[in-house]
Structure 1
Amino acid sequence: MSEESKANQPQNPHMNSEADAHQKMVRGSAWMTAGSLFSRVLGAVYIIPWVAWLGSNYAQGNALFAKGYNIYSFFLLVAIGGIPSAISKQVSEYNAQNEYGVGQRLFKRGLLLTTAMGIVAGCILWFGAKPIGFIFGGSDPNMIPVLRALAIALVIIPSMSLTRGFFQGYQQMAPSAVSQFVEQVFRVVYLLGATYFIMRVQRGDWVNAITQSTFAAFIGAAASFLLLGWYYYRQRPELNRLAAQSNAKLVIPVWQLFKDIIIQAIPFIVIDTATTVFNLFDQATFQPIMQHAFHMKVSVINTLYALFAFNSNKLVMIIVSLAAAIAITVVPLLSESLAAHNLRQIRKQLEDALILFLFIMIPGSLGMAAVAYPLNTLFYGYDELGSLILQIASFTAILLGLFTVVTGLMQGLSRNKDVIRYYLIGLVVKLVVQVPCVIFLSAAGPLVATAIGMAVASMLVLYDLEVNFGVRYAKLLPKVNRILIYSIFTYLAATLVVHGLNLVLNEQSKLQAMIILILAVAAGGVVYGYFALKSHLADLMIGSRAAGLRRKLRIK
């Protein structure tokens, strides 16, 4: 049986040894990391031709795209209502009790709920596009067609996301990962095809191109949903077998299932919308603050807004998505351990998740900061300020990723009220520091304000995990120090390559910037890979394969 086939088989959740749990986490993280990474990379690479076809209108187009997507993301998360994560958590808990049938009934009832919520949210965004656009779009009439194009996707995405959550409840990450990638492929193909046709063939309007680019979200979602349906159909015999051999001691009425879904989903709504709420706050306040403090024109402010809300965000989210992949993977595992009252295993899973996060996030963020200038040139053209913003965003991404992971851990442990309280404290901090940060740091201000707010929330969560679950940060410190040191070496290696090649190449040229970028990333990757293998840190991610790599590369 192939590795993918094994990963796609429903897993028996009654194996609670630490080794099995760690293997599940590593395998799940690998699938989700791969899916998130490939989809995010593809979602960033399309920008190169997209920006070129938009021509001189690309900065205004990026700002319009970012504003529309921020509003859409908020509606989407409310429409999904945290239900996929809640379903994943509940299905895992029922499976741990050998009540597979209840979990499958929960999924089917959840599909009805998400379909209804998607239709309602889509109608609200469609018919409310004008007032919503006025509030968050600075009275830009171009927001209306963009929001209506995105409203169509709202109808289908909640049910698609629910199906992903169901598979995750069985610790099956492959369907989610593959469907993410397929969704992005279809979205990007339609987006690029429509943009090329409108801008280069028809010589049309850039606003129409942005509208079709946002409608591509529906195309991608439809393709992903069809693939997930195929996964479900293929696994029905095994799912039916598991349901037939269940204990069948739990008899839960339909209304109770709906109630459980909604109660479990509310905390996920609040936390899942956290980053989007921060972004919407930036969207609503950045223009007024800049106009009041610096008396800038709206077009100039939109250009600055695009630098941090679209340009740098697209690239930085590639790394942050890896952190999200870890959080998604560990939630059902923690739920299993919590249902079994296995405090020792909970503590081990929490510590493993934090180290896995740092192993990926710190070198990724520092590496992106090191190559920020050629990276920004390759995607958007040479821009001194844009490159600096990307560099700052790369550093702040560590705190965004940390917030994503630790809030996911808290939700897996059913610490919902506490994590909401910590998030709200972080949001208040963001509100307090927003104005001074924007005044003193301009376009970098919102990034720094968000990082400060999320840092406060994350520290509160980490303290909670130490007090209530005995996470031993002192024990993790040697590994954290090694990751930090190796990441600094990675940063220095990539930086030296960038500066060295700038002596003979011109990073203001896209082609030459790409050469610099490839060589710098390769140098940084080799340095981090060598130290990670030599110190055995790589074993956390790839398990026994690390030993084989050490033998092949003759690393002792």
Structure 2
Amino acid sequence: MNGKKSNPLVKGALILTIAGVLSKILSAGYRIPLQNITGDIGFYIYQQVYPILGMAMMLALYGFPSAISKLGADIQAKGENVSFRHFYVPLFFILLTINGIIFIILFSSAEILATYIGDEQLYPIYQLTAFVFLLVPFLALLRGGFQASGDMHPTAISQIGEQLIRVSIIICAAVYISFYGMDLYMVGYAAIYASFAGGIVASIILIWFWFKKKPTYHIGGSLVPWKPYIKTVFIFGMVASLNHMILLLIQVVDVFTLVPSLVEYGYTQEQAKKWKGIFDRGYPLVQFGTVLGSSFSLAIIPTLSKQKSNKNVHILSDLQSAIRMSFYIASGAMIGLIVIFPEVNILLFQDDYGTTSLQILACSILLSSLTITSVTILQGIGDVKKSAFLIGIALLLKWYLNVFLVSHWGITGSALATIFSLLALCILAIYILKRKLPLFSLFKSIHWQAFFMASISMIVFLLGMKWILPATITLSRLSLLMMTLFIVVIGGSLYLFILIRCHAFTKQEISVLPFSDKLSRWMKGEHRDE
């Protein structure tokens, strides 16, 4: 019976994971043509708005829907019906109150924020950004309602639809602004309108599913348990969603501190904006690598909740497996990107500005992947408040280091500040995880010989191909694209092949990877040799 019940749960988590990966790939990918079209200044303007918009999207996608689905699942577990009047109406009121407060704070402080950042032209853009939070209650309630009944499809499809509309509008607007020579600050307005349009499309998709399924909700019910509702929505909804916002929050710190610190470093205001845009080139690539390294962690929480209640003895093995896979995949993405970043910078962004600083920033792929996976595990075993406290410490450290290091070393200082803050967060999260689960050990679970063999082989291959193939400056952009894709695919395959042949992965871990049937043959071949 338990096995039959768990299958829809795992399947639903997998659907959300796949949708999340596709959505994040879209989110990372469109910013590259955006930079190409609008330049570093246009990209700077967009990146001054994007982290705030991203936080609204995360609350509407992960935080609040998770809280609503948890409350609904708890009610149904007691054998009671979900009441429309005493469940959905009060939850909507709570969501509207929380997001209304965020709206008021952001709208009223927009001028102060723009002045502090040193760019008063962002003032009306920040005011408009505040309105996006008013869409959150509608999206979160609809998604949470479906998830409470175990149906993840509406959330997944609405997420993809929202991103497709948002990305399409932003790129089209960027082309229009560039073609007609309009003020580049229109990019900021375009980002907000695109978020509105994406949210409206997501709402239409969710409403369509609602009418299609015609769910019936119990009208009556007991008195509204306001205290548990508010506590769950705030703690599980807002605090737990911080895990999905780690990279966004890091970028928020850059929004407030980087330009003023670059001016203190010695740049003019316009130069500081340009170098902020150059530094922001690294985040789409870091985000893409982090998606590869941490996507499995999204499926952990429902499994953990079930295993925790059943006191499943396999929980430790599953946790170590998740974090070990994050380490291997994120490490490969990080090492490969660092080696070929000079070519990637020219290929994607048309020049090599900031290459060294962005190579340092690339190290955050591994740290953010391990951190997200570790914090997800902590939240899954009940340490929600503690994980939020750790994230707060990391952000304060990032803020302090940005102010101190950027004024001395420019954007290299900001890259180092990101690395140090994520490193501190990662160490603290793993330390607490070790205290909660004494038998847990990250370093002992990693097959170090296989990892070093795979890493060194990939580095040698990438460097060798860069030496053999023509110099970057002599290649057209299309030729550089073909060359980069070739060495990335072959280098990544070589890395993965050696890991598998040297038994870095178990058969169960390989089974969740793409093309698992073909990959498992590499492992079987090694077994036959033995």
Query: 1:44-99: CA deviations, max 9, x gaps?
Result: 44345433433xxx21111111112234445666788942343354455556x465
Query: 1:436-468: CA deviations, max 9, x gaps?
Result: 532554212222222222222222221222222
1:214 matched residue in structure 2: 192
Over 3 Å counting, the alpha-carbon distance change for 1:420 and 1:207 in structure 2 is closer
For structure 1, which segment, 344-353 or 167-176, has the greater mean C-alpha deviation from structure 2 after superposition?
167-176
Give the TM-score normalised by structure 2.
0.83
Query: 1:22-57: CA deviations, max 9, x gaps?
Result: x966x5675445333333333344345433433xxx
2:331 matched residue in structure 1: 362
Note if contact 1:330-1:412 (Cα within 8 Å) is conserved in structure 2: yes
2:203 matched residue in structure 1: 225
- Tell me by how many angstroms 1:143 deviates: 0.7
CA distance in 1, matches of 2:132, 2:507: 39
- Tell me by how many angstroms 1:317 deviates: 0.8
> Aligned pair 1:421/2:389, yes or no?
yes
Give the 5 Å matches for 1:510-525: 510-525=477-492
- Tell me by how many angstroms 1:196 deviates: 2.3
Give the 5 Å matches for 1:167-186: 174-186=153-165
Matched AA of 2:18: A
2:298 matched residue in structure 1: 328
- Tell me by how many angstroms 1:519 deviates: 0.8
2:261 matched residue in structure 1: 289
Over 3 Å counting, the alpha-carbon distance change for 1:401 and 1:233 in structure 2 is farther
- Tell me by how many angstroms 1:523 deviates: 0.9
1:150 matched residue in structure 2: 129
CA distance in 1, matches of 2:63, 2:198: 21
Partner SS, residue 3 of structure 2? coil
CA distance in 2, matches of 1:356, 1:252: 46
CA distance in 2, matches of 1:129, 1:431: 20
- Tell me by how many angstroms 1:191 deviates: 1.4
- Tell me by how many angstroms 1:517 deviates: 1.6
Note if contact 1:290-1:439 (Cα within 8 Å) is conserved in structure 2: yes
CA distance in 1, matches of 2:293, 2:147: 16
Query: 1:193-245: CA deviations, max 9, x gaps?
Result: 22223332x443222244213321111222223223344544556x87xx9xx
- Tell me by how many angstroms 1:474 deviates: 6.5
Matched AA of 2:420: I
> Aligned pair 1:60/2:47, yes or no?
no
Note if contact 2:23-2:159 (Cα within 8 Å) is conserved in structure 1: yes
Over 3 Å counting, the alpha-carbon distance change for 1:434 and 1:498 in structure 2 is same
Partner SS, residue 192 of structure 1? helix
Note if contact 1:36-1:322 (Cα within 8 Å) is conserved in structure 2: no
Query: 1:473-498: CA deviations, max 9, x gaps?
Result: 16852446535543443344334333
For structure 1, which segment, 180-189 or 440-449, has the greater mean C-alpha deviation from structure 2 after superposition?
440-449
CA distance in 2, matches of 1:278, 1:48: 20
Partner SS, residue 142 of structure 1? helix
Partner SS, residue 469 of structure 2? helix
Over 3 Å counting, the alpha-carbon distance change for 1:119 and 1:187 in structure 2 is same
Over 3 Å counting, the alpha-carbon distance change for 1:515 and 1:335 in structure 2 is same
Partner SS, residue 371 of structure 1? helix
CA distance in 1, matches of 2:239, 2:359: 33
- Tell me by how many angstroms 1:127 deviates: 4.8
Note if contact 2:87-2:224 (Cα within 8 Å) is conserved in structure 1: no
CA distance in 2, matches of 1:298, 1:537: 53
Note if contact 2:139-2:202 (Cα within 8 Å) is conserved in structure 1: yes
> Aligned pair 1:191/2:150, yes or no?
no
Over 3 Å counting, the alpha-carbon distance change for 1:62 and 1:547 in structure 2 is closer
Q: How many residues align?
A: 521
> Aligned pair 1:141/2:111, yes or no?
no
Partner SS, residue 267 of structure 2? coil
Note if contact 1:168-1:329 (Cα within 8 Å) is conserved in structure 2: no
> Aligned pair 1:400/2:348, yes or no?
no
1:9 matched residue in structure 2: none
Note if contact 1:60-1:303 (Cα within 8 Å) is conserved in structure 2: yes
2:398 matched residue in structure 1: 430
Note if contact 1:381-1:508 (Cα within 8 Å) is conserved in structure 2: no
Query: 1:493-539: CA deviations, max 9, x gaps?
Result: 33433343234x53774223212221122112321342355435574
CA distance in 2, matches of 1:67, 1:86: 29
Over 3 Å counting, the alpha-carbon distance change for 1:337 and 1:122 in structure 2 is same
Partner SS, residue 423 of structure 1? helix
1:70 matched residue in structure 2: 51
Give the TM-score normalised by structure 1.
0.80
CA distance in 2, matches of 1:336, 1:108: 29
Note if contact 1:73-1:276 (Cα within 8 Å) is conserved in structure 2: yes
2:35 matched residue in structure 1: 51
Over 3 Å counting, the alpha-carbon distance change for 1:410 and 1:44 in structure 2 is closer
> Aligned pair 1:15/2:32, yes or no?
no
Query: 1:279-309: CA deviations, max 9, x gaps?
Result: 33333333333333x322111111221222x
1:342 matched residue in structure 2: 311
- Tell me by how many angstroms 1:399 deviates: 0.9
Question: Quick one: which of 414, 428, 436 aligns to 1:446?
Answer: 414
For structure 1, which segment, 163-172 or 452-461, has the greater mean C-alpha deviation from structure 2 after superposition?
163-172
Question: Quick one: which of 294, 298, 305 aligns to 2:269?
Answer: 298
Over 3 Å counting, the alpha-carbon distance change for 1:127 and 1:425 in structure 2 is closer
- Tell me by how many angstroms 1:173 deviates: 5.2
- Tell me by how many angstroms 1:186 deviates: 0.7
Question: Quick one: which of 47, 64, 85 aligns to 1:83?
Answer: 64
Over 3 Å counting, the alpha-carbon distance change for 1:168 and 1:403 in structure 2 is farther
Question: Quick one: which of 9, 14, 26 aligns to 1:42?
Answer: 26
Note if contact 1:31-1:177 (Cα within 8 Å) is conserved in structure 2: yes
> Aligned pair 1:351/2:339, yes or no?
no
| Identity among equivalent pairs (%) | 20
CA distance in 1, matches of 2:137, 2:294: 18
CA distance in 2, matches of 1:89, 1:175: 17
CA distance in 1, matches of 2:462, 2:17: 23
For structure 1, which segment, 471-480 or 322-331, has the greater mean C-alpha deviation from structure 2 after superposition?
471-480
Note if contact 1:191-1:212 (Cα within 8 Å) is conserved in structure 2: yes
1:378 matched residue in structure 2: 347
Question: Quick one: which of 296, 313, 319 aligns to 2:289?
Answer: 319
Partner SS, residue 362 of structure 2? helix
Over 3 Å counting, the alpha-carbon distance change for 1:327 and 1:378 in structure 2 is same
Question: Quick one: which of 125, 128, 135 aligns to 2:106?
Answer: 125
CA distance in 2, matches of 1:352, 1:172: 27
CA distance in 1, matches of 2:175, 2:101: 33
Matched AA of 1:334: L
CA distance in 2, matches of 1:189, 1:230: 22
Matched AA of 2:233: I
Over 3 Å counting, the alpha-carbon distance change for 1:209 and 1:473 in structure 2 is closer
Note if contact 1:38-1:181 (Cα within 8 Å) is conserved in structure 2: yes
